[in-house]
């Protein structure tokens, strides 16, 4: 009886060893996906019929580094063939960025309309060889990511923050009619980023370094931007469209600026320094 028990024990041990060897052989030579075995020596694998998650794909890719795996990538609630070359999206999360890394043939991501700007920057850093196109919305206007010029009127702190998402920006123009409280932040950002900051006054685009200035048809809103010109010392207005009280108040508002103006009627010009006005020779057409 003892011999029979010992023989049975030896047989069980042998079976266990064989099973272990078989399992080891399978693990060494095959990868398992949803209870299906795939040889690790395979150079190409089409798994589009399989329901596979990102974690399963990464595990399989690690087991079969030399294999070209074709599968359906779960992306934003849909399945996209892994050999896709271009993808269009309107939102972007950190999880989406990880999923986009699963498209080996990806050459372009079209993200016009996507406002997840920080994640777009992360995507560009993660996949620098993929062409990324997107727009930045400023005051209702969409600027392509390679825009070199932006013109702002109702300047907000949010708009100032968005400018960093336009890496090719070289010039910012401000026009009258906007919120003046955020203008210093905009001007400071442009100076620190090496971006030209110009002020639109009448028909002129004025640099902040201007000391002497003559402008035509300037409006009340545009005159509110004179605070952006710290070096201005002489201002001459031709046919100002601003209210008279606004023009008259400039000497008080900007005491360091000598302001003069002229009104043109027909062929005659009348200066603010005139003490007499003679209209007898004036021709009005």
DSSP code, position 113 = T
pLDDT in tens, 211-262: 999 999 999 999 999 999 999 999 999 999 999 999 999 999 999 999 998 9
CA separation for the pair 253, 22 (Å, rounded): 91
- Higher pLDDT residue, 197 or 29? 197
| Phi, psi dihedrals of residue 75, rounded to the nearest 5° | -140, 115
Is the pLDDT at 115 greater than 50, yes or no? yes
Pair type for strands 141-144 and 135-138: antiparallel
Pair type for strands 258-265 and 30-33: unpaired
Q: Tell me the mean pLDDT in the region 26-43.
A: 63
Q: Which helix (H) or strand (E) holds 236?
A: strand 234-238
pLDDT in tens, 156-172: 899 999 999 999 999 99
Whole-model pTM: value is 0.75
Mean model confidence pLDDT for the chain = 84
Is the pLDDT at 17 greater than 60, yes or no? no
CA separation for the pair 206, 216 (Å, rounded): 13
CA separation for the pair 75, 79 (Å, rounded): 6
């Amino acid at each position: 009886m003892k011999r029979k028990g010992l023989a049975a024990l030896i047989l069980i041990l042998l079976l266990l060893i064989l099973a272990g060897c078989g399992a080891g052989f399978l693990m060494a030579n095959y990868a398992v996906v949803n209870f299906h075995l795939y040889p690790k020596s395979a150079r190409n694998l089409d798994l589009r019929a399989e329901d596979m998650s990102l974690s399963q794909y990464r595990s399989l890719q690690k087991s079969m580094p030399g294999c070209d795996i074709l599968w359906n990538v779960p992306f934003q609630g849909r399945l996209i063939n892994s050999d896709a070359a271009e993808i269009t999206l309107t939102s972007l999360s950190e999880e989406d960025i990880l999923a986009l890394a699963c498209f080996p043939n990806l050459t372009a991501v079209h993200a016009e309309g996507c406002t997840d700007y920080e994640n777009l920057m992360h995507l560009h850093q993660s996949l620098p060889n993929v062409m990324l196109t997107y727009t930045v919305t400023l005051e209702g206007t969409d600027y392509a990511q390679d825009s070199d010029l932006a013109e702002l009127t109702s300047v907000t702190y949010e708009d100032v923050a968005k400018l960093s998402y336009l890496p090719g920006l070289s010039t910012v123009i401000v026009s009258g009619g906007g919120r003046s409280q955020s203008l210093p932040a905009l001007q400071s950002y442009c100076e620190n980023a090496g971006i030209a900051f110009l002020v639109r006054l009448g028909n002129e685009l004025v640099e902040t370094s201007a000391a002497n200035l003559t402008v035509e048809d300037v409006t009340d809103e545009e005159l509110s931007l004179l605070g952006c010109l710290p070096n201005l010392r002489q201002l001459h207005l031709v046919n100002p469209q601003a209210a008279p009280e606004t023009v008259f108040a400039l000497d008080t508002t900007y005491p360091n600026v000598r302001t003069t103006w002229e009104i043109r009627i027909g062929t005659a010009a009348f200066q603010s320094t005139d003490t007499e006005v003679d209209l007898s020779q004036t021709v009005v057409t």
